[in-house]
Structure 1
C-alpha cells in the first residue's frame, strides 16, 4: 500500500521503500515525529508531509 503525504497508516506493516517522519501518538502517546525508513516496523500513525513511505 502507498501512504499519501500527510496520510494515515491504517494497519501494522513494514516499510519496503521510501521514508517518512511519522507521528506515532495513536500507538505511543508521544506526539514527536519519528523517522522511519526501509525495513522499519509500522503501526497506525500519521505521516508528516515530508516524504511518502510504501508499506507491505
Structure 2
C-alpha cells in the first residue's frame, strides 16, 4: 500500500509487469488534503510544486 501521488505515474509499468493487478484509486476531499499538509511539516516535491500558491 502506497499513497504517494507521484506513484500514479508508474501505473503503466505496474500494468506491464502485473497485468492482472488491481488498483484502488481513492479520492480524498481536497480540503482535508490541504489541512493535512499545513498541519505537518512537508517538503514540497514535484507533486506539490504549486501547493503554497493555493
TM range (shorter): under 0.3
More strand, by proportion: 1
Higher Rg: 2
